[in-house]
Amino acid sequence: MTKANATRLHLAIDGRSVTVEAGTTVAAALVMAGASGTRRSISGEVRAALCGMGVCQECRVTIDGRAHVLACQTLCREGQMVCTVADASASASASASATGAR
C-alpha cells in the first residue's frame, strides 16, 4: 500500500485529534503528535518509550479507559482515546500542593 492510498485512522491523544496511517503503533502516534512523554515517574520525571518492544514498560498509557497499556505494542484503532500523564503539569502542581511542597 502506498502512502497516497493508505488507510487513515483518527484518534485522540490527550484530547487532541490525531490522524495516522493504519499499522501505526500508539507510541509512534505519540511521537508524531509531539507528545513529550507517556507518563511521569514517582519523582515527577517525564518518561517515554525506550526499547520499542515492551520490555522497559516506559510507554504505559491509558487507552479507552484501560490503564497501563504498552503504547509500543498497541496498534492505533479508529476512534481510540489515548491518555498520557506526561503533560499533566496541572495535576503535578496539585499533587505538590497537597503534600505541602512549594
Domain range for 47:
3-98
What is the 3 state secondary structure string of 2-14?
CHHHCCEEEEEEC
Q: How many domains is the chain partitioned into structurally? A: 1
Residues 8 and 21 sit within 8 Å (Cβ to Cβ): yes
Read off the CATH number of the domain in which 73 is found: 3.10.20.440
Q: 26-75 pLDDT, tens per residue?
A: 999 999 999 989 999 999 999 999 999 999 999 999 999 999 999 999 99
More confident call, 98 vs 73:
73
Determine the average pLDDT of the residues in 66-93: 83
